[in-house]
Amino acid sequence: MKVLIVYYSMFGHVHRMAQAVAEGVGRVRGAEAVLRRVPETLSAEILKKMGATEAQEAMSSVPVCSVEELASADAVIFGTPTRFGNMCGQMRQFLDATGQLWAKGALVGKVGSVFASSATQHGGQESTILSFHTTLLHQGFIIVGLPYTFQGQTRMDEITGCSPYGASTIAGGKGERMPSENELEAARFQGEHVATIAAKLKG
């Protein structure tokens, strides 16, 4: 059973969460986690101006996803940074290239799930994940979130991302905060949860 983890990350926060999602998928017997990045749409010059060159190099060993690859997966877990409360443009462009898959109903009945990152605590993690779900529903995905059985999302003793819609991390205004252990555990939980449900559906 193949669980694709498809993400975009500019400074490495979503990338770190994606690695934790993959660890969680790996907890389920027979489940293979496959990490993929969506294609970059910005030039190297722009990425340099944004201070993302080093992080991009660190992620360069992760292969770039093709849209056809989505059809070969039993479940797809998408990761995106928040851009004005929505998914990033790189992810939008990737999803807008899936029209052929939509026409064939190639993704209908697969498990779909989303995790996110934003700079600020209330900067749109939930709206990013929920608005992402709209596209998944058009494609016929069965949406899975982060149930409250992951109790780390209720904690009040530290600042943390995460909601019942999906795992998330708070990167800080300058990207200075990497995912906390609680947020990473949420990502692992989500990966395991999606893989468990996908395994049941596969029968």
Note the residues at the interface with ligand FMN (CB under 6 A).
9-15, 81-85, 117-120, 123-124, 171, 175
Cβ proximity to ligand FMN: between 81 and 191 the closer is 81
Cβ proximity to ligand FMN: between 8 and 189 the closer is 8
CB 168 within 8 A of CB 189: no
Q: Which of 173, 145, 171 is nearest to 159 (CA)?
A: 171
CB 17 within 8 A of CB 117: yes
- CA 16 to CA 72: how far, in whole Å? 24
Cβ proximity to ligand FMN: between 101 and 171 the closer is 171
Least separation in angstroms between residue 101's CB and ligand FMN is: 25
Strands 75-81 and 2-7: parallel
CB 75 within 8 A of CB 110: yes
Least separation in angstroms between residue 58's CB and ligand FMN is: 11
- CA 163 to CA 142: how far, in whole Å? 18
Cβ proximity to ligand FMN: between 106 and 116 the closer is 116
- CA 139 to CA 129: how far, in whole Å? 16
Least separation in angstroms between residue 85's CB and ligand FMN is: 5
CB 78 within 8 A of CB 6: yes
Query: Using CB atoms, what's the residue nearest to ligand FMN?
Result: 123
Cβ proximity to ligand FMN: between 162 and 171 the closer is 171
Least separation in angstroms between residue 12's CB and ligand FMN is: 5
Least separation in angstroms between residue 116's CB and ligand FMN is: 7
Cβ proximity to ligand FMN: between 49 and 155 the closer is 49
CB burial of 113-127 (b: ≥16 within 10 Å; e: otherwise) equals bbbbbbbeeebbbbb
- CA 55 to CA 9: how far, in whole Å? 9
